[in-house]
Structure 1
Amino acid sequence: MKNLSVSRRYAKALMLIGKEYGQTDQYRNELDEVVDLFDANPELEMAVINPLFDKNDRRRVLVAVLEKTELSRIVQSFVMLLFDKGRIGFLRGICDFYKQLADELKGVVHATLVSATQLSAEATEKIREGLAKRTGKDVILDVEQDPELIGGIVTRIGDLVLDGSVKTQLLNMRESLKRGEIV
């Protein structure tokens, strides 16, 4: 839980700066670049994060790497602040929260659509439009398949789950029959 609150707090702080300077999208992209850099070079990440190495040496390595990037001074300073505060290990979580905040600012929401079979592009688009109408936001839809649903679809938007799967309907029927209710 602490990890989430730390990540959220730092992401919000950078978002406030991004809004002030009108650079929210740029900062989003730059945070992604730093995460991608660590993903591509796990040895670098370990050298920067691992407390077994001398802190000054780790700091010098990070400064040298950041100077070779084309990151804005704000994001470079932000990454160095994370390092200095011992929060550099939270970078991925901060990046994820920052993306959520940036999407909220733009009125974008991510949803997951799970279906038993492959849906046509037309059906997927109709569902996306329906979700956009229901939420009042632009919806980015991630489509997945799960044959165990038997039929129908399940949609998740944040905490909201819209379950229209045959599997769930059958389970509900079974529970009603167990309780002696007429279906």
Structure 2
Amino acid sequence: MIDSTDKRVRVPNVLEDPSMKAIAQVYADGFLDASGEPSGDGRVDEFRSFIHDILDPHPEFERKLVSPMVPVEAKIGLLERTVFPHASQVFASFLKVLAHHERLDLVRVIFDVCADEQMQRAGRRKVTVRSATSIPDDKLEQIRQHLANFLAAEPVLQVEIDPSLLGGLVIQVGDTVYDSSLRNRLGQLRSQLRQRYVNEIQSGRNRFSHSEGS
């Protein structure tokens, strides 16, 4: 399933800027720790709904919220007319804080950090499973059980289909990748063959030089 010989590599995180991640973490922790309802997963679900149901289908609305040309008061007024009547008090207060600190441009980044933080608090870990073809349910359950033992946490699997992998799996936990795909194995084989040719050429040169010296 996940071979011990699989290549482990580090890949860039979605939050490549450490300062941005640190800022997002502060706001995410503040949002999750604030008193009020909903709490926990329900709080993250409300945040997710704001992203998926409001920002995604209304890009012009999002552009106004993140634009440095729009005054803070205008942004809050826009939220008060459209979002706050349907939002919990804790989420409305959270958006106001972001607006006052001119951090609404980080709202998607903060959501990603917030969702990951809540998963960890609840003893879950997000795991991305990439495959060249669809994975049967029984195979996914085997992967889930294996990861549960390996991570000592409940894995939340997100399956992505990538035909370029040719075969095998790529499993990503955080910024660590376990790559057992056929594409990766072929790449390793090519690298090994190239290294063998280099060694053979160098060995031949050494023998030739030694012969000349004698």
State the TM-score, normalized to the length of structure 1: 0.84
Q: 1:177 to 1:93 in 2, by over 3 A?
A: same
**Map of 1:1-183 to 2, 5 A cutoff?**
1=17, 2-17=19-34, 23-35=39-51, 36-69=53-86, 71-180=87-196
CA distance change for structure 1 residues 125 and 53 in 2, over 3 Å: closer, same or farther?
same
For the structure 1 residues 4 and 120, does the alpha-carbon distance in structure 2 shift closer, same or farther, using more than 3 Å as the test?
A: same
Q: 1:25 to 1:147 in 2, by over 3 A?
A: closer
Which structure: larger Rg?
A: 2
2:12 is matched with none
Structure 1 regions of 5+ residues with no counterpart? none
Letter in 2 for 1:155: I
Deviation of 1:138 after TM superposition, in Å, equals 1.0
Structure 1 residue 64, shift from structure 2 partner: 2.5
CA deviation map 1:31-73 (0-9, x unaligned):
223323222333333333333334333322222324421x221
Alignment root-mean-square deviation, CA:
2.3
The 1:154–1:38 alpha-carbon spacing in structure 2 relative to 1, beyond 3 Å, is closer
3-state SS in 1 of match to 2:80: helix
Seen in structure 2, the aligned counterparts of structure 1 residues 160 and 56 have a Cα distance that, compared at 3 Å, is closer
Task: Choose between structure 1 and 2 for higher RCO, CA contacts under 8 A separated by at least 6 residues.
Answer: 2
Q: Following TM superposition, by how much is the alpha carbon of 1:117 offset from its aligned partner in structure 2, in angstroms?
A: 2.9
Which runs of no fewer than 5 residues in structure 2 stay unpaired? Answer: 1-16, 200-214
| TM-score, normalization by structure 2 | 0.73
Q: CA deviation at 1:22?
A: 7.8
**What is the SS of the residue equivalent to 2:34?**
helix
Tell me the distance in 1 between the aligned counterparts of 2:61 and 2:185.
50
Identity of aligned pairs, percent? 26
